[in-house]
């Protein structure tokens, strides 16, 4: 039942209409220094990105962002920082994928075919390297063993490179969310339920914050301004308010 729910969520994710701000092929060009940092310090970058994806509110943290069976059962509420550090160092691949799924579900971002091909190639190369290692262990040939070692090294390099590009892609998307690409409106912080639960009958709205230009200081958005000094509120005249005399007094009749 749980596996079927995960498959339904993955199918729903394919129907999203928004795209990543930068695809995997363009991340090195978009932010080469950060891509290098993610390559050499992957777990540290994964920790920082997950915390930023949670809007720096660690009370929202759930192990693997709620996408794994162990989520919510690891004592995250007592020490979320330690649990997140354990996740990114022991389950690095899952931590990167969980942050990716969380951003996709929050902003309805689909994965392009090019990104799917790159991720699929990474998985296939790892499987082939594993098969070659098993064959080399069974046959005992030095040539096959050397070939399997080279293939495993290549698979590890591709894995680290793709993970670095994915984390750079996440960072650029959150830069877009936080309004770092010019005069774009800043995204509003979603409620806790929107970050960790998707079974709400009517999910709370997540998106750009409403503009409050022209609203009096301290007045919440969406409410009419309060009357001051006995004047009627514009657009909300009281029923007993007399209409103005016309023409006004002082003008010639």
| Average pLDDT for the chain | 77
Instruction: In whole angstroms, give the CA distance from residue 198 to residue 175.
Output: 24
Confidence of residue 76 (pLDDT cuts 50, 70, 90): confident
Greater pLDDT, 90 or 231:
90
Q: What is the pLDDT of residues 17-33, one digit of tens each?
A: 899 999 999 999 999 99
Q: What is the pLDDT of residues 153-179, one digit of tens each?
A: 999 999 999 999 999 999 999 999 988
250 CA to centre of own chain: 65
Question: 138: burial class by Cβ within 10 Å (0-12, 13-18, 19+)?
Answer: exposed
Instruction: In whole angstroms, give the CA distance from residue 27 to residue 21.
Output: 10
pLDDT at 63 over 80: yes
Confidence of residue 241 (pLDDT cuts 50, 70, 90): very low
Asked whether the beta carbons of 189 and 52 are under 8 A apart, the reply is no
SS3 18: strand
Tokens standing for 101? 């799924």
Tell me which H or E stretch contains 118: helix 113-139
Instruction: In whole angstroms, give the CA distance from residue 231 to residue 198.
Output: 46
pTM (two decimals): 0.68
Instruction: In whole angstroms, give the CA distance from residue 34 to residue 38.
Output: 6
Greater pLDDT, 73 or 92:
92
Q: What is the pLDDT of residues 107-155, one digit of tens each?
A: 999 888 888 899 999 999 999 999 988 998 888 888 888 888 999 999 9
């Amino acid at each position: 039942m749980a596996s079927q729910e995960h498959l339904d969520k993955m199918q729903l994710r394919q129907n999203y209409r928004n795209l990543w701000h930068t695809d995997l092929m363009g991340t090195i060009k978009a932010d080469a220094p950060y891509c290098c940092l993610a390559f050499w310090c992957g777990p540290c970058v994964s920790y920082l990105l997950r915390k930023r994806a949670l809007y720096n509110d660690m009370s929202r943290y759930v192990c693997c962002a709620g996408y794994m069976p162990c989520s919510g059962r690891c004592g995250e509420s007592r020490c979320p920082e330690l649990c997140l550090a354990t996740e990114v160092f022991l389950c690095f691949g899952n931590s990167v994928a969980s942050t990716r799924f969380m951003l996709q579900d929050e902003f309805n971002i689909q994965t392009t075919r090019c990104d799917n091909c790159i991720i699929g190639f990474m998985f296939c190369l790892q499987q082939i390297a594993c098969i070659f290692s098993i064959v080399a262990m069974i046959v005992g040939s030095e040539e096959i063993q050397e070939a399997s070692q080279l293939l495993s090294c290549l698979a590890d390099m591709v894995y680290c490179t793709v993970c670095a590009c994915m984390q750079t892609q996440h960072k650029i998307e959150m830069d877009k969310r936080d309004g770092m690409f010019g005069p774009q409106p800043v995204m509003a912080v979603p409620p806790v339920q929107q970050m960790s639960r998707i079974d709400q009958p009517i999910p709370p709205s997540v998106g750009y914050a409403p503009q409050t230009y022209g609203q009096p200081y301290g007045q919440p958005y969406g409410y009419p301004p309060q009357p001051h000094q006995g004047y009627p509120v514009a657009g909300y005249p009281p029923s007993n308010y007399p209409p103005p005399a016309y023409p006004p007094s002082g003008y010639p009749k």
